[in-house]
Structure 1
Amino acid sequence: MCYTVKSIDDVRRLVIATRGLSGLSDAPTLIDKACRRMFELVGADMVAVALYDGADTLVVGASEGLEIDLSGIRLPRGCGLGWRALQRSMPTTTGNCAADAEHLDDLVEAVIPEDIRGLAAVPLTFNDLWLGVLYAGTRGRRVSPRTTLLMNEFGASLAPLLVTAVRADHAERLAVEEERQRIAQQLHDTAGQLLFQISMSAKEIQQCARDDPETAVEAARSIETAAAEASTYLREAMHSLMPADEALPVTMRRDVAVFSNRTGITTELVTLGTPRHAGAEVEGVVLSALREGLHNVEKHAGARAVLVSLAYQSHQLSLAIEDDGKGLPPDFDLNPVPGREAGLGIPGLLQRVTGAGGVLRIGNNDDGGTSLRVTLPLVACA
C-alpha cells in the first residue's frame, strides 16, 4: 500500500520540523538538530541518524529518546536493518528486532535493553548518492506506516541540506590544507634560510674567533640580526594560524608571559568584553603600545607588579598598562622632543596611535605608579 501525506497537521509538522535546518552549514550540528526535530515529528520512542562513511560503514551521528547515547556506533556493510534499507533503496521495518536475526547489529543490541522492539530504517539518499539512514523505534509495537512516511518525507528535505553541509566542510578542510602548505613553504623560504645563515655564521665565529676578532664580531652581529628576523617570521606564521577574533588576546598573553618570566615582575592580562577582529592597523598599534609600555616598566618603573587590560567595547578598543612603580619623573612630557627621531619610544608610539585615529594618555596612577592608556576606534579601523 502506498501512503502519502494528506493530513494538514502532518504537512504543518513537516514544515516546522525542517524550519531552521537550511541555515546550518556544519554537518555534525545539522545532524544533531535534525535528529531532535525528527524525534518531535514522528512521535516514536527513539530515533537515530547514521551517516554513510563513503566506504563500508554506517556511523551513528546522533540519537534521541534513550537513556544511552548511540552516537559513534559503527555498522559494517550488509549488517542489520539500516543496510538492508539502504541497499534496497526503500524503507524497511520489523515488528520485533530482538527476534529477527537478520536485522541484528550493534544498534539493535544497544536498543533491546531499553525494550525497543519495533524498528524502522529509512534510506537517506540524494540523486542515488548514499548519505545514511534514519531510524525510529517503538516499545511493544510495530512502527506505523504514517511514522515511516513522515521519516521518508523528512529525509527528502534533509538530504540536500546534508550534501551542502558536507561539501562546505570538505571545502573548508581543503582551504585549511592549502593554507598550511602555503605557510610551510613561506617558512622554508624565509625562516629556513635565515636559520641556515645563522648556522654558517656560527661556524665562521668558531673558525676565526682567535685570529680575526673583527670578523667574529661581525658574524655574531649577523647571527643576532638573522635570529630576530626568523623570530618575526615565525611569530607572523603562528599569528596567521589563529582565529582572527582570538589572535590579538593570544599574542598579548604570550608577550605578557615572556615579559613576566624574563623580568620576574608579576604581570597579569585581563580581557574585557567579547574579542573580535579589530583590523591589522589597530591590532598592530595595540601590540606596539603593549611592548613599549612593558619595556618602559622594565627600564624605568622599578615595579613589582603590572596589570594589563584589553577592553572591547561597541565602538572602541582600549589598552591600559598599570604598574606599582615609582611613577613618572616631574619633567615628563608626552609631546615629541624637538630634534628627536619620531619613530623611537613614546614619541613614535604617539605618532602611530594618533595616525590610527586614537588617543594616548600617560600619567601617574593612584598607587603612585604609571598608567599608560590607548583608546582606538573600532568602526573606522575594523
Structure 2
Amino acid sequence: MARWNALGVLVRDGVFTLALTPLVFAPATAHLSAEFGDLAKRSPDLPGVLVTLALWLPLVVRRRWPGVCLALVAAAFAVHQLAAFPATFASVGLYIALYSVGAHGRRVDGPRLVLVSAAAIALFALFALGLHHRGSPQRASDFLLILLVLVCCWAAGRAVQARQAGEEERRRLSVAAATAQERARIARELHDVVTHHVTAMTVQADAALFLLADAPDQVANGLGAIGDSGRHALADLRQLLGVLQASGGDPSAAELPGDTSAAEPALAPGRLGELVERTRAAGQPVELTRTGERPTMASGVELAAYRVVQEGLTNALKHAPGHRTLVTVRYAHDELEVAVTTEGAPAVPAATGTGPLGRGGGLGLVGLRERVAVFGGELLAGARPDGGFSVSARIPAGDDGVRLGGRPTPAGEQAIPARRHA
C-alpha cells in the first residue's frame, strides 16, 4: 500500500482510468450512460470512438489538473450529445469531472465564484439551446433538473474538500498546541537546571573568596564542588538539547504534557541523595529523610518530585543560606509526598508572579504547580510560623491524573491547587 501511495495521484488515476477503459465500450454498460438530449442515435463509427475516448481519458488528470479535466470532458460531452453518438458509459465521466473540480480544485469564493457560476450557467444554456435546435424532446424544466444534478455533483466534491480542510486544520492546531506545550516544558526544565546549579556555584564561589586566606583546604573543597555543579549542569543541558535535536524540529514529534519518558530517564532514588549532597557541599546544612516503601511509579512522577526538591533547595540557597533545611520524602502505596522546609529563614513570597520566586515569566513555583498538576497532584508553598519557608507536593503514584483529596493547609502556607489536564 505504501508503494502504491508513493506513485502519486497522476499515476494512480492513470492506472484506474486505463483499467476501466474497456468498460466504456462494452454494450452491457451502455445503459448506464448520461443522456441529456434523447436524440435519435447514429450508427457507431470512428468519430464516435474518438469522442468516447475524449470523454474518458481526461480523467487521468482529474486530481492533478481538475479544471483541465472538466473542460476537456465537458467539450467532448457536448459534441457527443449534439452529434447523437451512441450511448456510452464514458459519458459518466462528466459527473466524475465535476466532482473532482469540487473536491480537488482550487477553492473559489466571493465575486470570482459568482463569475464562474454565471459562465457555467451560460454555457449550459447554449448547450440546451443546441439540443433543442437539434430536435430534443426535453423541456425547460427537464434541463433545469439536469443542471441541478450537475451542481449537486460539484457540491458533493466541495463538501468533501471542506471536510478534509477542516481535518487538516484540526491536525495543524493539535500539532501547534503540542509544540507549544513541549516548548513550555523544556523552558521549565532549563529554568530548574540552570537556576539550581548556577545558584549553588555562586554560593560556593562567594564562600571560597571569603575563606581564601584563612582556610585553603575548605577553599579547595568549595572549588571542587563548583566543578561538580558545573558538570551536572552541563550534563542536564546536553540532555535537554538532545531532546530538541532528536525531534529534528518536527512539531509532530512534540510530546504531550506529562510525557517525560522520552526527555528524562527514570530517576533512581540515589539521584535525590546526590542533589542533597551537592547542596550540602555548597554550604547549606541539609538533611534528607525517607519514609515508607517506594512503590512502582511513572518516571514523570519521580521527575516532578525531584524538581520540587530541587526548587526548594535552590530557594534555600538564595534566600536562607546557612539555615538548616529539611528534605522529607514519604512513599505510600498510591502517592508520593515531598517537602523542603527551611528553618528560621526570612519569609519568601509565594509564587504569585510578583515575588522573587514568581519572577521569570511563570517559571519557578508557578512552573512546578503546572508540572505537579499534570499528574493530579497538589503543590503547597508558604511561610512557616517560625519564620521559615516550606515547599511541599503530593502526587499520585500513577500517571492517571486522578487528583487526591486535599489535606488541611498549615498556617501560613498557600495552597496551589492542581488543575485537571485533559
TM-score class normalised by the smaller sequence: 0.3 to 0.5
Structure with bigger helix share is: 2
TM-score calculated relative to the size of structure 2: 0.31
**Radius of gyration: which is bigger?**
2
| TM-score, normalised relative to structure 1 | 0.34
> Which has more strand, going by share of residues?
1
